[in-house]
A and B are shown apart, each in its own frame.
Chain A
Amino acid sequence: AQSVAQPEDQVNVAEGNPLTVKCTYSVSGNPYLFWYVQYPNRGLQFLLKYITGDNLVKGSYGFEAEFNKSQTSFHLKKPSALVSDSALYFCAVRDRVPGNTPLVFGKGTRLSVIA
């Protein structure tokens, strides 16, 4: 069975500092990996995905994530945080096996960027 762990419920960072939101995953095969963001009273919005190729993936709003197969991780990063980045961030995984597997989400990490 596939699963995702986001070890931090909350991450606090000062505006202008780099940020990292951690994610580790477990799948039986190779993964498709995703990051989504949820702003208050809104649905989830897609940020970026890793399918294949370059381990460093760039996405929306200056975010990027690095796929590390040996550590089964897909941490979300941004070089310089903005107050407007404050939101709930979800990592998600889908197993790359034939057939239908749903997208499984982590429990989310709340990012708070302090001015």
Chain B
Amino acid sequence: DSGVTQTPKHLITATGQRVTLRCSPRSGDLSVYWYQQSLDQGLQFLIQYYNGEERAKGNILERFSAQQFPDLHSELNLSSLELGDSALYFCASSPQGGGTTGELFFGEGSRLTVL
């Protein structure tokens, strides 16, 4: 158990809908990262927050947004969903911000299926 909690584990929804994925980092970790895993694209970095502020942005679509709250949990909002958004979404946490030598601790992911 990595200590990172993601909910929901599975989510099935329709095109055009909006969903919210939630992540609770390990106790004491200040950084939260979101990654998208799909069969054809592998593991893609979406966005990172550090202590409530956006720290780095990757290949995140404009339809997607995220935030980190004062209690350090994070939410990833996906809107106007398309079939291609079906993927496994991972949250990871680490104690520090960017440029560190430390490893990331991953949750078990939220599997999103868009029908």
Contact = CB atoms under 8 A, between A and B. Distances in A.
A106 B43 CA distance: 7
A106 B35 CA distance: 13
- The prevalent SS among residues of A at the interface is loop
Contact of A102 (B42, B56, B108): B56
B99 interface: yes
B56 A100 contact: yes
Contacts of A108: 42-43
Interface string B52-74: 00011010000000000000000
Contacts of A99: 98-99
A74 to B, nearest CB: 14
Interface in B71-115: 90, 92, 97-99, 101, 103-109
Contact of A103 (B45, B97, B109): B45
How many A residues touch the partner, as a band?
20 to 34
Contacts, number: 61
A107 B2 contact: no
Size category of the binding interface on chain B? 20 to 34
A98 B12 CA distance: 41
Nearest to A99: B99
Interface string B29-64: 000010100000111010010000001101000000
- 9 shortest A-B CB distances, which residue pairs? A100-B98, A107-B42, A43-B106, A46-B103, A105-B43, A44-B106, A43-B108, A102-B45, A51-B101
Given A44-B90, A101-B98, A102-B33, 6 more contacts: A43-B4, A44-B104, A46-B105, A98-B99, A103-B45, A107-B43
19 contacts: A32-B101, A34-B103, A36-B106, A43-B2, A43-B108, A43-B109, A45-B106, A46-B103, A49-B101, A94-B99, A97-B99, A100-B97, A101-B98, A102-B45, A102-B98, A105-B42, A105-B43, A105-B45, A107-B43
